[in-house]
Amino acid sequence: MYEITFHSRGGQGAKSAVMLLGKIFSQLDKNIQAFPEYGPEREGAPVRTFLRISEEEINIKSSIESNDMMIFLDDSLFSEEKIDLLKENGILIINTGSEIQLKRKDVKLYLMDITKVALKIINRNVPNIGLMAFFPFLMNEINEQKFKKDLEELLSHKYSKEIVEKNMKTYDEIKKQIGEKYGKKI
Amino acid sequence: MKMALTGADAAAYAMKQINPDVLPMYPITPQTQIVMKFSEYVANGEVNTELITAESEHSAMSSAIGSSAAGARTMTATSSNGLALMHEIVYIASSMRLPIVMNVVNRALSGPINIHCDHSDSMAERDSGWIQIYNENPQEVYDHNLMAIKLSEDSNILLPTMVLQDGFITSHAMESLNVEADSKVKSFIGKKKYEGYLLDSKNPKTFGAIDLTDYYMEHKYQQHLAIKEVEGKLKTIYKEFEEKFGRKYNVIEEYNTKDSEIVFVAMSSSCGTIRHRINEMKKDGYNVGLIKVRLFRPFPIDEIVKALKDKKKIIVLDRANSPGAIGGPLYEDIVSATKDYKLNIYNIIYGLGGRNFAPKDVDEILLKVVKNQPFVDFHGVRR
Amino acid sequence: MEKKYDEVPIGGTIENVPTSINFKTGDWKSMTPVIDHEKCKKCKICTIFCPDEALIFNEKTQQIEIDYEYCKGCGICARECKFGAIQMKDMRDQK
Three-class SS string for B92-147?
HHHHCCCCCEEEEEECCCCCCCCCCCCCHHHHCCCCCCCEEEEECCHHHHHHHHHH
Answer whether B358 sits within 8 Å of A34, measured CB to CB: no
Query: Can you spell out the DSSP letters for C24-47?
Result: --GGG-SSEEEE-TTT-----HHH
Work out the pLDDT band at B193, boundaries 50, 70, 90: confident
pLDDT the model gives residue A43: 75
Contact in structure between C19 and B206 (CB atoms under 8 Å): yes
Rounded-to-integer distance, Cα B95 and Cα B216, Å: 10
Residues written for chain B: 383
Contact in structure between B366 and B262 (CB atoms under 8 Å): yes
Work out the pLDDT band at A186, boundaries 50, 70, 90: very low
Give the minimum alpha-carbon distance from C65 to chain B in angstroms, rounded to a whole number.
29
Backbone angles phi, psi at B279, to 5 degrees: -60, -40
**What homologous superfamily is domain A2-182 in, according to CATH?**
Pyruvate-ferredoxin oxidoreductase, PFOR, domain III (3.40.920.10)
Same domain, B193 and B274: no
Same domain, B128 and B144: yes
Rounded-to-integer distance, Cα C34 and Cα C66, Å: 8
Separation in Å, CA C72 to CA B209, C63, C89: 21, 20, 13
Angle formed by the axes of helices B57-69 and B80-95, nearest 10°: 30
pLDDT the model gives residue C29: 86
Query: How many domains does one find in chain B?
Result: 2
Give the minimum alpha-carbon distance from A172 to chain B in angstroms, rounded to a whole number.
26
Q: How many CB atoms sit inside 10 A of residue A43's CB?
A: 8
Provide the CATH number for the domain around residue B165: 3.40.50.970
Give the minimum alpha-carbon distance from B208 to chain C in angstroms, rounded to a whole number.
6
Most C CBs within 10 A among B155, B198, B205, B228, hence the mutation to make, goes to B205
Pairing of strands C32-35, C86-89: antiparallel
Strand partners, B297: B132
* Chain A CA closest to residue B168: A38
Asked if residue C55 is part of any domain, the answer here is yes
Provide the CATH number for the domain around residue B310: 3.40.50.920
pLDDT the model gives residue B374: 79
Asked if residue B46 is part of any domain, the answer here is yes
With 70 as the cut, is the pLDDT of residue C95 above it?
no
Same domain, B261 and B240: no
Contact in structure between B324 and B297 (CB atoms under 8 Å): no
Q: Does B194 touch chain C (CB under 8 A)?
A: no
Rounded-to-integer distance, Cα C17 and Cα B259, Å: 61
Q: What is the CA radius of gyration of chain B?
A: 21
Backbone torsion region of residue A7, taken as left when φ is above 0, otherwise alpha when ψ lies between -120 and 50, otherwise beta: beta
Cis peptide before B298 (omega within 30 of 0): yes
Backbone angles phi, psi at C91, to 5 degrees: -120, 25
Rounded-to-integer distance, Cα B190 and Cα B184, Å: 10
Residues 6+ apart with CB under 8 A from A177: A112, A117
Asked if residue B383 is part of any domain, the answer here is no
Average pLDDT, chain B: 95
Q: Which chains touch C (3 or more CB pairs under 8 A)?
A: B
Averaged pLDDT for residues C23-30: 86
Q: Tens of pLDDT along C37-58? A: 999 999 999 999 999 899 999 9
Domain carrying residue B340? 252-378
Residues 6+ apart with CB under 8 A from C79: none
pLDDT the model gives residue C45: 95
Q: How many CB atoms sit inside 10 A of residue B373's CB?
A: 12
Same domain, B40 and B162: yes
pLDDT the model gives residue A149: 94
- SS3 label, residue A42: coil
Rounded-to-integer distance, Cα B347 and Cα B327, Å: 7
Residues 6+ apart with CB under 8 A from A111: A93, A94, A96, A99, A100
Same domain, B157 and B12: yes
pLDDT the model gives residue A52: 96
Q: Tens of pLDDT along B2-34? A: 999 999 999 999 999 999 999 999 999 999 999
Residues written for chain A: 186
With 60 as the cut, is the pLDDT of residue A79 above it?
yes
Strand partners, C66: C55
Same domain, B280 and B339: yes
* Chain C CA closest to residue B203: C16
Per the model's pLDDT, the better-predicted residue between B291 and A39 turns out to be B291
Same domain, B206 and B139: yes
pLDDT the model gives residue B373: 76
Averaged pLDDT for residues B142-165: 97
Task: Provide the strand spans (E) within A37-74.
Answer: 46-54, 67-72
pLDDT the model gives residue C1: 61
Domain carrying residue C83? 24-94
With 80 as the cut, is the pLDDT of residue A81 above it?
yes
Contact in structure between C17 and B204 (CB atoms under 8 Å): yes
Rounded-to-integer distance, Cα B347 and Cα B331, Å: 6
User: Helix H segments across B246-292?
Assistant: 270-283
Q: Tens of pLDDT along B98-107? A: 999 999 999 9
Q: How many CB atoms sit inside 10 A of residue B127's CB?
A: 9
Among candidate residues B212, B227, B244, the one where a domain is terminated: B244
Averaged pLDDT for residues C61-87: 94
Provide the CATH number for the domain around residue C82: 3.30.70.20
Asked if residue C19 is part of any domain, the answer here is no
With 70 as the cut, is the pLDDT of residue A40 above it?
no
- pTM for the predicted model, two decimal places: 0.90
Q: Tens of pLDDT along B73-123? A: 999 999 999 999 999 999 999 999 999 999 999 999 998 999 999 999 999
Same domain, B68 and B87: yes
Q: Tens of pLDDT along B314-350? A: 999 999 999 999 999 999 999 999 999 999 999 999 9
Q: How many CB atoms sit inside 10 A of residue B368's CB?
A: 16
With 50 as the cut, is the pLDDT of residue B194 above it?
yes
Comparing CA positions, the residue from B163, B174, B168 lying closest to residue B77 is: B163
Contact in structure between A136 and A186 (CB atoms under 8 Å): yes
Answer whether C17 sits within 8 Å of B95, measured CB to CB: no
| Chain C stretch 6-65, residues whose beta carbon is closer than 8 A to a beta carbon of chain B | 6, 8-15, 17-19
Question: By percentage, how much of chain B surpasses pLDDT 70?
Answer: 100
pLDDT the model gives residue A41: 66
Residue type, B17: Q
Contact in structure between B344 and B316 (CB atoms under 8 Å): no
pLDDT the model gives residue C19: 82
Q: Where do the structural domains in chain A lie, given as residue ranges?
A: 2-182
Q: Which chains touch A (3 or more CB pairs under 8 A)?
A: B
Same domain, B258 and B240: no
Contact in structure between C71 and C54 (CB atoms under 8 Å): yes
Rounded-to-integer distance, Cα B320 and Cα B323, Å: 9
pLDDT the model gives residue B120: 97
Rounded-to-integer distance, Cα C8 and Cα C15, Å: 10
Q: Tens of pLDDT along A116-146? A: 999 999 998 899 999 999 999 999 888 999 9
Per the model's pLDDT, the better-predicted residue between B353 and B204 turns out to be B353
Task: Provide the strand spans (E) within chain A.
Answer: 2-9, 31-36, 46-54, 67-72, 86-95, 108-112
Q: Tens of pLDDT along B29-41? A: 999 999 999 999 9
Averaged pLDDT for residues B183-195: 89
Rounded-to-integer distance, Cα A149 and Cα A164, Å: 12
Q: Tens of pLDDT along B34-68? A: 999 999 999 999 999 999 999 999 999 999 999 99
Give the minimum alpha-carbon distance from B221 to chain C in angstroms, rounded to a whole number.
7
